[in-house]
């Protein structure tokens, strides 16, 4: 445990662990020192000089080592010049003045310098309304410009860095956050500085440009509108959008997101999701989301808007009739794209009629992933095994956390047949899976907190389970496959099991297509309209994540809530309501309240998922949302 | 007594040939040091009071003693970047008296326990670097580098490393970044190089001239060094790179404590102003200087680190640029600001934006398109940059501007209109 | 007694014979003052390009949330305004508008101005929403989209002037 240090900032006494930076100590005391280049998750750079403050340290007699006293208090030696609070760690008895005349003058001066080469782009810049430079200018900017317009520097304004991010070189204030994020946090130094002095500019050093699946995060941490996304270009102003908390549905990590929505003219006046932003959850995704989740198209055109038959009562009736006819011979098939509540009701119906309930998954081992874990804080003394999966494409935030754990000293073993982007950060790399498992056995024996992440068949899952890790994580193909396993669904990878059966299938396009090809009678509960839904006997229009309340269980067995952000399209209903209505017609009584369903599944309430951590907000710098809705909760370990 | 301690090649021809150097008591200092305890070597340099000749004037022995003895390995880096406008002393040492310099590097390395030393040369010195490589080879063949030097268990290898044309790489932490292969931008200090330097290991970075002064100190003792010349606080001799409006520009080695008048007007030295014009100002530290008004008081000021401060300047690297009545200050600052704006590394905001802004204003003033308010603005901006930069480049870029406006206001007032 | 009566009615008779100040609207329409805040107009530049760059500052300034703006990107093939950004959707809801003129104050390009038209009626709530076509029609002549030379209309905001006094 580190010692605690007490110092005085603007007359306020604050006690923090030794090694804390002055700027962080001030944040804890509720004092905001203006910053640009500083980011709590990166090494301090001291580049922008915006956080200048007056720092005084107690004087000590050189000979005796005793503090020098003056008027009964320790004498304070004030530095002859202002110092940056982001590069100075606290020391005992330090005094800091952040708003004295000298300090304010220094902060104002630095801001004036920033503005001299910043273009007057606010009306056309996407960052307007959530721009740190705008906010600082209100607080510290000069009322009138002393700079001549014709001496202003000009630079390229519309530079593509890859196909997802635009760079505006004129707006860049050269704070280096993007470069440092990529090289320090992600370990893929695909951005860099070029030239020097007033002509410094950001370039991408990779081909294709900005080749990183975390590129979108730089648009969150960029304090100005220099880095913007092509997807959201000119989408809307931040104050025009509403926000709703959600969970990303692209992979089983379960990153916490915030959906920004607005009514849109080009969608015929519907309220749509304009963009996906990260929401802080230090245990899952910290402040980041990957590009798969950020740029996922949540407003697709091919939505199933009406059931088939077109009236709900008829559709429900038809479905119930067919399922009643099949009784226990019916097959209930889902995939991991459904929420816990939807899965629960389908399983309950299947159990009630004695029929089989399957979850489609090419990844085995569902019965073995029973221990919850979170290896986000792993470091020296811990071990991580990654086998059979290219985390970078399959679960990017798991990749990032494994890489950062390795940076902190954890033993990282990668055992995959082909090269992965994690190889460069691993302690040991094996192209032969068995050798990797053997090495992991040794490493796990010596480590405290261990986690094995795998993607493979049951045999591989068993081999990993045999290593007895603190947590076994299956890198599923969908967001909520873990939820299905928790409820007792059986795994299914081969559609031929459905031959000749009546199937109640609920899930995504590929699942419905597979079922329609193989089964005799298909009742398809899905959100998407495809050729397959046309062929199904009954098509039941369900809602997507953005349109309903519900929960997902991540691969680490963390249950997290998402909230309805946009109104349902057409007459789509939440899946669990559809199932309950069908069940009613079959004489089975099921709940339609999402909260009650969650409680039945997990023995927890939505309140349990709503704990927030106020302290962690100090780790955000940029447009990542603070988490007011809750960080979710780990499911208890299965007996 | 020898006239020269550093520019000995002016008395001894072909001193850059190893056989000549060896005949002239070459490597005596190094041989003596190898028999001493490493702390004793540092103490001797401390007692001699040798101060860094690169511009900061920090006591060399004290810097060596700051090396963190719990963190190994140690490195010595010789700063041969020499990019300060008006400085050309190190080049002469490296071209004409290289072995004394290399001996200094060797003694310093021995004193701090380094087995690898680097010489960082500015990119434009590629001929000098190749030349030094040959000399290092000769030194090794003569038995003063490599494994088990002179039968002791001390080993040392010296490597040269070229920069690529950046003045900022003369700043010690930017220099270390450049050697490490990264962008040559200064680091946040603290920590300083003696605790975390090259590859985060303790490193001593010394100027070429400083290291070239070390062999004499060890060979003859601290007292003899002090007797050679200089004052109590600024002992020893220094090479003054004299340039500007003098009849005989060039490198001159004088004891510290000689006066400006001797240097600029002395027959053997500057020889006075070209066309016998009236002297106006002196820039004692190259383009990074404050401008000293060249009145009698200034001319009679002894050239020491402490005395030059009395007349509002800094001795710095002693690259004395002489300004006479034909030079107008508004023209002068466009030159210095143009240099600093070009060389600013761009890492910190005040230097990156401030030098660019000051350059633009100064050019307008020089072109006669500025008002009095612009002049005040230039002074304001310069003051705004001072004290807030990450390294000294930004700080120094303002010295000439502020002092010229304050001390030579007539030159500017003539150019501005209401 | 008649004298008092006549004296009392002096003002009345005087006024009867005076020229009336009543303006016979709608046959006669008085000119509005120069700063009259009437129906909005979206202005164009002389070359026909729209001044509006879709920044939505007018929408932000509007105290009754009457303005809806959606922005899109200009290309040189299909250019609506100078620079990168133009308003692809621009609607003012006249049931909400209080004719305060804050939108005109907020606009950085002087694109949205309040004109002189005050004869605004509509017969349904839907007709109260004036879209971009209507607002542009009220304004100067011009045609967009236009096809322009690349590299000419690169800046959204017209050239600024240097600060005075320096």
Question: Which CATH class name applies to A117-229?
Answer: alpha beta
| CATH architecture, domain B329-413 | Up-down Bundle (1.20)
Q: Number of helices and strands (H, E) in chain B?
A: 19, 9
- For the structural domain made of B8-228, what CATH number should be given? 3.40.50.11540
The domains of chain B are located at: 8-228, 237-324, 329-413
Q: Which residues of C touch A144 (CB under 8 A)?
A: 163
pLDDT at B301: 92
- Give the one of B346, B349, B388 whose C-beta lies nearest to A197's C-beta: B346
Lowest mean pLDDT among A237-246, A475-484, B208-217, B231-240: B231-240
How many angstroms separate the CA of residue A131 from the nearest CA in chain C? 15
Locate A255 and state its tokens. 């990153």
Which CATH number does the domain A4-111 belong to among 3.40.50.720, 3.30.950.10, 2.40.30.10, 3.10.20.740? 3.10.20.740
* Contact criterion met (CB below 8 Å) for A498 and A333: yes
Peptide bond into A208 cis (omega under 30): yes
pLDDT above 90 as % of chain B: 86
Whether the pLDDT of residue B196 is over 80: the answer is yes
pLDDT above 70 as % of chain B: 99
Lowest mean pLDDT among A309-313, B317-321, C2-6: C2-6
Helix (H, G, I), strand (E, B) or coil at B352: helix
Phi, psi of A465 (to 5 degrees): -65, -35
**Mutation target vs C (from A120, A121, A123; most C CBs, 10 A cutoff):** A123
pLDDT in tens, A138-151: 999 888 889 988 88
Helix (H, G, I), strand (E, B) or coil at A347: helix
Alpha-carbon distance of A280 to A289, in angstroms, equals 10
pLDDT at C12: 87
The candidate with the shortest Cα–Cα distance to B210, out of B249, B239, B174, is: B239
* Contact criterion met (CB below 8 Å) for A215 and A291: yes
Phi, psi of B303 (to 5 degrees): -85, 80
Average pLDDT over residues B214-241: 90
pLDDT at A299: 87
Alpha-carbon distance of B301 to A612, in angstroms, equals 69
pLDDT at A547: 95
pLDDT at C166: 46
- Give the one of A124, A145, A240 whose C-beta lies nearest to C85's C-beta: A124
pLDDT at C140: 67
Phi, psi of A566 (to 5 degrees): -130, 155
pLDDT in tens, A407-422: 999 999 999 999 999 9
End-to-end CA distance of chain C: 79
Chains meeting C at 3+ CB pairs closer than 8 A?
A, B
Burial class (CB within 10 angstroms; exposed 0-12, middle 13-18, buried 19+) of B35: exposed
How many angstroms separate the CA of residue A20 from the nearest CA in chain B? 15
Is the minimum CB–CB distance between C156 and chain A shorter than 8 Å?
Answer: yes
Alpha-carbon distance of A99 to B368, in angstroms, equals 40
Predicted structure pTM score: 0.92
Is the minimum CB–CB distance between C54 and chain A shorter than 8 Å?
Answer: yes
Q: What mean pLDDT value characterizes chain A?
A: 93
Helix B98-112 to helix B38-48 angle (10° resolution) is 120
- Give the one of A120, A158, A234 whose C-beta lies nearest to C160's C-beta: A120
The candidate with the shortest Cα–Cα distance to B330, out of B415, B417, B245, is: B415
Whether the pLDDT of residue A154 is over 60: the answer is yes
Lowest mean pLDDT among A44-48, A113-117, B354-358, C137-141: C137-141
| CATH architecture, domain C36-137 | 2-Layer Sandwich (3.30)
Locate A490 and state its tokens. 């059986």
Alpha-carbon distance of A288 to A255, in angstroms, equals 8
CB atoms A149 and C162 under 8 Å = yes
pLDDT above 90 as % of chain A: 86
Average pLDDT over residues A114-130: 93
Q: Pairing between strand A73-74 and A76-78?
A: unpaired
- Give the one of A47, A82, A198 whose C-beta lies nearest to B348's C-beta: A47
- For the structural domain made of B237-324, what CATH number should be given? 3.10.20.600
Report the chain C residue with the minimal C-alpha distance to residue A149. C162
pLDDT at B278: 94
Question: Which CATH class name applies to A383-475?
Answer: alpha beta
Alpha-carbon distance of B106 to A187, in angstroms, equals 39
- The per-residue b/e assignment along A225-256, b for 16 or more CB within 10 angstroms, e otherwise, is bbbbbebbebbbbbebbebbbbbbbbbbbbbb
Lowest mean pLDDT among A44-53, A90-99, A579-588, B220-229: B220-229
Residue spans of chain C under pLDDT 70:
138-140, 160-166
Report the chain B residue with the minimal C-alpha distance to residue C165. B373
pLDDT in tens, A79-89: 889 999 999 99
The domains of chain C are located at: 36-137
CB atoms B357 and A147 under 8 Å = yes
The domains of chain A are located at: 4-111, 117-229, 383-475
Whether the pLDDT of residue A626 is over 90: the answer is yes
Is the minimum CB–CB distance between C71 and chain A shorter than 8 Å?
Answer: yes
Alpha-carbon distance of B404 to B315, in angstroms, equals 17
**Mutation target vs C (from A124, A131, A236; most C CBs, 10 A cutoff):** A124
CB atoms B355 and A49 under 8 Å = no
Sheet holding A502-506, edge to edge: A490-492, A356-360, A331-334, A502-506, A521-526, A538-541
Average pLDDT over residues A569-580: 95
Average pLDDT over residues B306-334: 91
Query: What residues 167-206 of chain A have any CB closer than 8 A to a CB of chain B?
Result: 173-174, 193, 195-200
Report the chain B residue with the minimal C-alpha distance to residue A51. B388
Is the minimum CB–CB distance between A13 and chain C shorter than 8 Å?
Answer: no
Chains meeting A at 3+ CB pairs closer than 8 A?
B, C
- Where helices occur in A257-374 by DSSP H, the ranges are 291-294, 312-326, 340-353
Alpha-carbon distance of B352 to B344, in angstroms, equals 6
Q: Work out how many CB contacts closer than 8 A connect B with C.
A: 5
Count, residues in chain B? 418
The candidate with the shortest Cα–Cα distance to C115, out of C31, C1, C37, is: C37
Whether the pLDDT of residue A514 is over 60: the answer is yes
Chains meeting B at 3+ CB pairs closer than 8 A?
A, C
Give B313 or A279, the one with higher predicted confidence.
A279
Whether the pLDDT of residue A192 is over 80: the answer is yes
The candidate with the shortest Cα–Cα distance to A367, out of A602, A597, A633, A638, is: A638
DSSP 8-state secondary structure symbol assigned to residue A185: I
Locate A195 and state its tokens. 């030239």
Q: Which residues of A touch B356 (CB under 8 A)?
A: 116-117, 153, 197-198
């Amino acid at each position: 445990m580190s010692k605690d240090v007490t110092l005085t900032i603007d007359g306020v006494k604050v006690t923090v662990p030794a090694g804390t930076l002055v700027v962080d100590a001030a944040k804890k005391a509720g004092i905001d020192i203006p910053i640009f280049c500083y980011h709590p998750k990166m090494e301090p750079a001291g580049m922008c000089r915006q956080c200048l403050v007056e720092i005084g340290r107690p004087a000590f007699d050189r000979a005796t080592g005793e503090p020098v006293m003056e008027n009964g208090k320790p004498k304070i030696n004030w530095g002859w010049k202002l110092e940056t609070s982001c590069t100075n760690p606290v020391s005992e008895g330090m005094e800091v003045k952040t708003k004295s005349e000298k300090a304010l003058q220094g902060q104002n001066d630095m801001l004036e310098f920033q503005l001299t080469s910043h273009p007057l782009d606010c009306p056309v810049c996407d960052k307007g309304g959530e721009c740190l430079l705008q906010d600082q200018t209100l607080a510290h900017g000069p009322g009138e410009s002393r700079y001549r317009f014709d001496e202003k520097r000009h630079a390229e304004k519309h530079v593509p860095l890859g196909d997802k991010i635009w760079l505006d070189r004129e707006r860049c204030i050269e704070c280096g956050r993007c470069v440092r994020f990529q090289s320090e946090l992600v370990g893929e130094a695909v951005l860099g500085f070029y030239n020097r002095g007033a002509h410094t500019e950001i370039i991408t050093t990779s081909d294709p440009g900005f080749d990183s699946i975390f590129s979108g995060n730089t648009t969150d941490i960029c304090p100005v509108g220099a880095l913007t996304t092509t997807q959201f270009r000119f989408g809307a102003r931040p104050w025009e959008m509403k926000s709703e908390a959600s969970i990303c549905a692209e992979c089983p990590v379960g990153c916490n997101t915030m959906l920004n929505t607005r009514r849109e003219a080009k969608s015929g006046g519907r309220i749509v999701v304009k963009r996906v932003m990260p929401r802080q959850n230090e245990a899952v995704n910290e402040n980041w989301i990957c590009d798969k989740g950020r740029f996922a198209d949540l407003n697709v055109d091919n939505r199933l808007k009406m059931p088939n038959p077109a009236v709900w009562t008829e559709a429900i009736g038809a479905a119930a009739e067919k399922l009643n006819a099949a009784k226990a011979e019916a097959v209930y098939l889902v995939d991991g794209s459904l929420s816990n509540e939807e899965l629960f009701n389908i399983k309950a119906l299947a159990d009630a009629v004695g029929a089989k309930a399957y979850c489609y998954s090419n990844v085995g081992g569902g019965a073995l992933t029973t221990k919850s874990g979170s290896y986000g804080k792993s470091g020296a003394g811990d071990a991580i095994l990654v086998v059979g999966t290219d985390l970078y494409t399959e679960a990017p935030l798991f990749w990032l956390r494994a890489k950062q754990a390795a940076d902190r000293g954890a033993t990282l073993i990668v055992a995959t047949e082909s090269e992965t982007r994690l190889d460069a950060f691993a302690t040991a790399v094996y192209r032969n899976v068995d050798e990797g498992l053997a090495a992991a056995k040794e490493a796990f024996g010596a480590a405290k907190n261990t986690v094995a992440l795998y993607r493979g068949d049951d045999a591989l899952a068993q081999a990993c389970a045999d290593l007895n890790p603190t947590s076994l994580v299956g890198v599923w193909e969908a967001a909520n496959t873990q939820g299905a396993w928790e409820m007792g669904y059986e795994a299914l990878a081969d559609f031929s099991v459905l031959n000749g059966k009546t199937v109640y299938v609920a899930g995504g396009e590929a699942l419905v297509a597979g079922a329609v090809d193989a089964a005799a009678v298909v009742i398809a509960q899905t959100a998407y309209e495809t050729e397959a839904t046309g062929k199904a006997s009954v098509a039941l229009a369900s809602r997507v994540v953005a349109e309903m309340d519900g929960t997902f269980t991540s691969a680490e067995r963390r249950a997290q809530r998402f909230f309805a952000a946009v109104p349902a399209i057409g007459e789509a209903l939440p899946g669990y309501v559809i199932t309950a209505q069908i069940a009613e017609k079959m004489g089975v009584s099921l709940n339609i309240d999402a909260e009650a369903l969650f409680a039945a599944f997990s023995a927890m309430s939505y309140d349990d998922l709503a704990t927030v951590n106020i302290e962690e907000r100090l780790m955000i710098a940029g447009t990542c949302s603070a988490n007011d809705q809750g960080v979710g909760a780990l499911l208890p370990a299965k007996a | 007594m020898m006239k020269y301690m550093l520019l000995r090649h002016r008395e001894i021809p072909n001193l850059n040939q190893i056989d000549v150097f060896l005949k002239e008591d070459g490597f005596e200092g190094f041989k003596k040091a190898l028999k001493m305890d490493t702390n004793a070597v540092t103490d001797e340099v401390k007692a001699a009071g040798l101060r860094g000749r690169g511009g900061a004037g920090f006591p060399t022995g004290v810097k060596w003693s700051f090396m963190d003895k719990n963190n190994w390995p140690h490195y010595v880096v010789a700063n041969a970047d020499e990019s300060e406008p008006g400085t050309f002393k190190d080049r002469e040492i490296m071209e004409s008296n290289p072995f004394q310099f290399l001996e200094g590097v060797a003694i310093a390395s021995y004193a701090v326990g380094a087995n690898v030393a680097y010489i960082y040369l500015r990119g434009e010195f590629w001929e000098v670097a190749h030349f030094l490589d040959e000399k290092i080879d000769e030194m090794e063949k003569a038995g003063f580098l490599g494994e088990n030097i002179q039968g002791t268990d001390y080993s040392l290898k010296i490597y040269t490393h070229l920069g690529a044309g950046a003045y900022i790489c003369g700043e010690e932490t930017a220099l270390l970044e450049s050697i490490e292969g990264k962008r040559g931008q200064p680091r946040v200090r603290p920590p300083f190089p003696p605790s975390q330097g090259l590859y985060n290991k303790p490193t001593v970075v010394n100027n070429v001239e400083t290291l070239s002064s070390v062999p004499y100190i060890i060979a003859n003792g601290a007292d003899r060094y002090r007797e050679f010349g200089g004052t109590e606080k600024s002992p020893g001799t220094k090479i003054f790179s004299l340039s500007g409006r003098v009849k005989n520009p060039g490198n001159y080695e004088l004891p510290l404590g000689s006066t400006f008048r001797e240097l600029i007007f002395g027959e053997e030295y500057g020889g006075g102003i070209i066309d016998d014009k009236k002297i106006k100002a002196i820039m004692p530290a190259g383009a990074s200087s404050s401008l000293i008004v060249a009145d009698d008081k200034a001319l009679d000021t002894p050239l020491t680190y402490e005395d030059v401060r009395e007349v509002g300047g800094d001795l710095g690297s002693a690259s004395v640029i002489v300004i006479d009545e034909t030079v107008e200050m508004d023209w002068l600052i466009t030159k210095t600001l143009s240099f600093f704006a070009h060389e600013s590394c761009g890492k910190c905001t005040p230097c990156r934006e401030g030098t660019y802004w000051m350059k633009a204003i100064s050019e307008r003033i020089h072109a006669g398109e500025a008002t009095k308010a612009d002049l005040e603005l230039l002074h304001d901006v310069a003051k705004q940059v001072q004290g807030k930069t990450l390294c000294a480049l930004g700080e120094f870029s303002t010295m000439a501007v502020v002092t010229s406006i304050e001390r030579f206001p007539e030159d500017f007032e003539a150019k501005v209109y209401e | 007694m008649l004298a008092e009566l006549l004296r009392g009615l002096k003002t009345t008779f005087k006024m009867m014979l005076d020229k009336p100040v009543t303006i016979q609207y709608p046959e006669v329409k008085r000119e509005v003052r120069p700063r009259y805040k009437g129906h909005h107009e979206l202005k164009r530049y002389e070359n026909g390009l729209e001044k509006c760059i879709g920044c939505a500052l007018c929408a932000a300034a509007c105290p009754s949330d009457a303005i809806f703006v959606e922005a899109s990107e200009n290309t040189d093939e299909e250019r609506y305004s100078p620079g990168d950004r133009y308003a692809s959707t621009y609607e003012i809801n006249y049931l909400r508008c209080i004719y305060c003129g804050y939108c005109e104050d907020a606009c950085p390009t002087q694109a949205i101005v309040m004109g002189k038209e005050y004869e605004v009626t509509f017969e349904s709530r839907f007709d109260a929403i004036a879209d971009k076509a209507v607002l542009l029609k009220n304004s100067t002549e011009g045609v967009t989209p236009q096809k322009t030379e690349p590299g000419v209309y690169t800046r959204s905001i017209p050239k600024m002037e240097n600060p005075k006094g320096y």
